[in-house]
């Protein structure tokens, strides 16, 4: 009888065959995958992320299909934040023996539905036994040479924007952990985040965004990273933050796993309210100085990073 490991590898191999790409010369099945070089004038993007049981999700609360989706979505979101196009991905899974093939099939289904939707094939991986479930994903992408959207490019005078609305993922997670049976919009938002790939490319091509990053750990934490990398001060207008319907201000400011794009543009750039089907909101500006500040009716105060950080929860 085949081992669980073999069965999972078979499932992945079959699912991977359904997604083709002209970049892939050889996918799963050798010591390494072979990928054609990007087209002339482009350079490579590489990003890696993990989804770990009890750190990023709770078995029994988070459906397998959603976890498969999110494993890949996290990596694709990083490529989106660079203004790039994803080419392929590699997957490492560590599986407890207790985990059944039914669960794993759902996990793989969720991942490869997204893989197919974006034409991003799986070209390799590693499946091993472990005490609990974890997945590590590496996504390879490309971008025109010298055009990747950095975190460090924001300059004083730039205007600060965010895509979509914030707080929905934190609200959805709360509902999920409370055991809510109803699958409302917030829970969907938490389970199936949509990587903003089309938007990322438009930010680079049309808006010439000066800096961009994806919101994985919460606005307060990620904006602090952008400001630190760019050596600038960011001032957010609290009234301007687009809050997900039903979410609190706290959830919008600090809730993680939004996978929306935070970006800056030079003053004078005309930013449409809707781009690639996604809402864009002006939320503040970049100034000389350091740190993140928030303007409220009470005045301007420091915005402490209180988003998701491992070992600190």
User: What is the phi/psi pair of residue 28, to 5°?
Assistant: -70, 140
Residue 167 token pair: 């707080």
Name the residue nearer to its own copies (CB basis): 244 or 259: 259
Q: Is the dihedral of CA 133, 33, 84, 263 positive or negative?
A: positive
Q: Is residue 261 helix, strand or coil? A: strand
Report how far residue 223's alpha carbon sits from residue 180's, in angstroms, rounded to the nearest whole number.
Answer: 31
Which of 193, 200, 253 minimizes the C-alpha distance to 51?
A: 193
Q: Among the candidate windows 101-109, 143-151, 188-196, 290-298, which touches its own copies by CB under 8 A?
A: 143-151
209, with CB counted inside 10 A (0-12, 13-18, 19+), is buried
Q: Is 38 in the site for its own copies (CB under 8 A)?
A: yes
- Closest contact distance (angstroms) between CB of 58 and its own copies is 13
For β-strands 233-237 and 42-52, DSSP reports them as unpaired
What is the pattern of x (binds its own copies, CB under 8 A) and - over residues 72-111? -----xxx-xx-x---x-xxx-x--x--------------
By beta-carbon proximity to its own copies, the closer residue of 184 and 291 is: 291
Q: Verify binding: residue 176, its own copies, rule CB under 8 A.
A: no
| Minimum distance from residue 182 beta carbon to its own copies (Å) | 30
Stretch that binds its own copies, among 99-107, 111-119, 149-157, 166-174 (CB under 8 A): 149-157
**Residue 243 interacts with its own copies (CB under 8 A)?**
no
Q: Is 136 in the site for its own copies (CB under 8 A)?
A: yes
Minimum separation from the CB atom of position 237 to its own copies (A): 25
Q: Is residue 138 part of the contact set for its own copies (CB under 8 A)?
A: yes
Nearer to its own copies, 56 or 69 (CB): 56
> CB 68: neighbour CB atoms within 10 A?
26
Tell me if 126 contacts its own copies by CB under 8 A. Answer: yes
Cα–Cα dist 98/163, whole Å: 40
The tally of CA atoms less than 13 A away on the side-chain side of residue 119 is 8
129 is a site residue for its own copies (CB under 8 A): yes
193 interacts with its own copies by CB under 8 A: no
Exactly one of 114, 143, 275, 286 binds its own copies (CB under 8 A); that residue is 143
Residue range at the interface with its own copies (CB under 8 A); choices 25-33, 168-176, 264-272, 277-285: 25-33
Q: Is residue 231 at the binding interface for its own copies, with CB under 8 A as the rule?
A: no
148 binds its own copies (CB under 8 A): yes
* Ramachandran category for residue 311: left, alpha or beta (phi over 0 → left; psi -120 to 50 → alpha): left
Stretch that binds its own copies, among 41-49, 62-70, 176-184, 201-209 (CB under 8 A): 41-49
Closer to its own copies by Cβ: residue 68 or 186: 68
The CA-atom distances, in angstroms, between 134 and each of 29, 54, 92, 124, 153 are: 22, 10, 8, 17, 34
In Å, how far are 7, 18, 100, 138, 234 from 4, measured between CA atoms? 5, 22, 8, 23, 50
Concatenated DSSP letters of 129-146: E-SS-EEEEEEEEEEETT
Residues that bind its own copies (CB under 8 A): 3-5, 25-26, 29-38, 42-50, 52-56, 77-79, 81-82, 84, 88, 90-92, 94, 97, 123-132, 134, 136, 138-141, 143, 148, 150-152, 212-214, 229, 309-312
């Amino acid at each position: 009888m085949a081992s669980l490991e073999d069965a999972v590898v078979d499932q992945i191999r079959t699912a991977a065959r359904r997604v083709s790409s002209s970049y892939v010369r050889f996918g799963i099945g050798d010591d390494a995958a072979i990928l054609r070089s990007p087209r002339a004038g482009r350079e490579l993007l590489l990003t890696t992320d993990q989804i770990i049981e009890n750190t990023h999700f709770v078995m029994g609360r988070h459906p397998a299909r959603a976890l498969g989706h999110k494993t890949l979505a996290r990596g694709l979101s990083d490529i989106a934040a660079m203004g790039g196009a994803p080419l392929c991905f590699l997957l490492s899974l560590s599986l407890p023996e207790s985990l059944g093939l039914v669960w794993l099939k759902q996990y793989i289904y969720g991942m490869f539905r997204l893989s197919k939707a974006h034409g991003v094939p799986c070209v390799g991986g590693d499946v091993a036994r472990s005490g609990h479930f974890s997945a590590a994903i590496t996504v390879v992408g490309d971008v025109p040479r010298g055009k990747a959207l950095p975190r460090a490019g924001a300059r004083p005078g730039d205007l600060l924007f965010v895509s979509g609305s914030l707080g929905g993922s934190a609200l959805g997670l709360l509902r999920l952990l409370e055991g809510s049976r109803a699958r409302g919009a917030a829970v969907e938002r938490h389970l199936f985040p949509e990587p903003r790939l089309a938007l990322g490319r438009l930010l680079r091509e049309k808006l010439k965004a000066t800096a961009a990053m994806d919101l994985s750990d919460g606005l307060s934490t990620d904006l602090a990273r952008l400001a630190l990398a760019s050596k600038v001060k960011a001032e957010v207008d609290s009234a301007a933050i687009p809050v997900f319907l039903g979410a609190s201000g706290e959830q919008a400011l600090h809730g993680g796993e939004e996978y929306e794009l935070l970006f800056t543009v030079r003053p004078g750039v005309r930013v449409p309210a809707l781009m690639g089907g996604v809402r864009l909101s002006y939320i503040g500006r970049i100034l000389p100085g350091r740190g993140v500040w928030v303007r409220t009716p009470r005045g301007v105060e420091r915005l402490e990073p209180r988003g998701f950080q491992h070992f600190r929860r």
